[in-house]
Chains A and B, each alone.
Chain A
Amino acid sequence: DIQMTQSPSSLSASVGDRVTITCRASQSISSYLNWYQQKPGKAPKLLIYAASSLQGGVPSRFSGSGSGTDFTLAISSLQPEDCATYYCQQSYTIPLTFGGGTKVEIK
């Protein structure tokens, strides 16, 4: 199985801050990397696919980058509604695997 490792596991930032989350795959997955946002008590929501393509309806303050084994999710200006846990997920091979999650909180 491909292991997905996220860092940090949690972070606290102020409204308007730029936030970055890192995801590392245990082997190359090209650009087969998705990012999801999960708010408490809710189902995950697809934010980014193919490492850097924004899913329809997702605010442009979210962006993704990377390929191979190292990927980044960035929020350019953190908003209160961005408080959530973010997961990366590789779609390169079966079994599909997720990172452990990064919890984003507002200071």
Chain B
Amino acid sequence: QVQLQESGPGLVKPSETLSLTCTVSGDSISTYYWSWIRQPPGKGLEWIGYINYSGSTNYNPSLKSRVTISVDTSKNQFSLKLNSVTAADTAVYYCARRVAAGTLLGRTYYGMDVWGQGTKVTVSS
């Protein structure tokens, strides 16, 4: 049974760097892509980016200048760094596994099928 667990500080000061780690258990991180998604209080979901085991990444252009996602295959973990944070970065941050959910008529369709429980990060002085 695959499980993901986010960890990191729950409080970050404005202008500093938010750092979170997602630990994967029950699966090798050397399979699939691994995503970060966030959800501000009372709002919808925003995809931040994803990474694979070799370090290949894709980021949301709206955050790309401030985001770094990295992977540590020896620890079966991947991490998120978001610098120069403001109050607008206050959110619940989720990590998730991106999988090929199915192949139909020669096309492969991807979805995020396993999620961590989420970790709340507040940006405040």
Contact = CB atoms under 8 A, between A and B. Distances in A.
Which size bracket describes the interface of B in this complex?
A: 20 to 34
Nearest to A99: B44
17 contacts: A34-B111, A34-B112, A42-B117, A45-B115, A46-B112, A49-B101, A49-B109, A50-B101, A50-B104, A53-B102, A53-B109, A55-B101, A55-B111, A95-B61, A95-B62, A97-B47, A98-B45
- Best-surrounded residue of A42, A55, A91, A95 (most CB of chain B within 10 A): A95
Nearest to B4: A43
Which size bracket describes the interface of A in this complex?
A: 20 to 34
B47 A49 contact: no
Contact of A31 (B47, B60, B109, B110): B109
A66 interface: no
A36 B114 CA distance: 11
Interface of B: 44-47, 58-62, 94, 96, 101-102, 104, 107, 109-113, 115-118
B2 to A, nearest CB: 13
A38 to B, nearest CB: 8
Contacts of B115: 43-45
A98 B46 contact: yes
A53 B104 contact: yes
A50 B47 contact: no
Which 10 A-B pairs give the minimum distances between C-beta atoms? A43-B115, A49-B101, A50-B109, A96-B47, A95-B60, A49-B111, A98-B45, A34-B111, A46-B111, A46-B113
Contact of A91 (B60, B62, B94, B109): B109
Contacts of B60: 94-96
Given A43-B115, A55-B111, A50 B102 contact: yes
Nearest to A45: B115
Contacts of A43: 94, 96, 115-118
A98 B45 CA distance: 6
Nearest to A91: B110
Contacts of B111: 34, 46, 49, 55, 89, 91
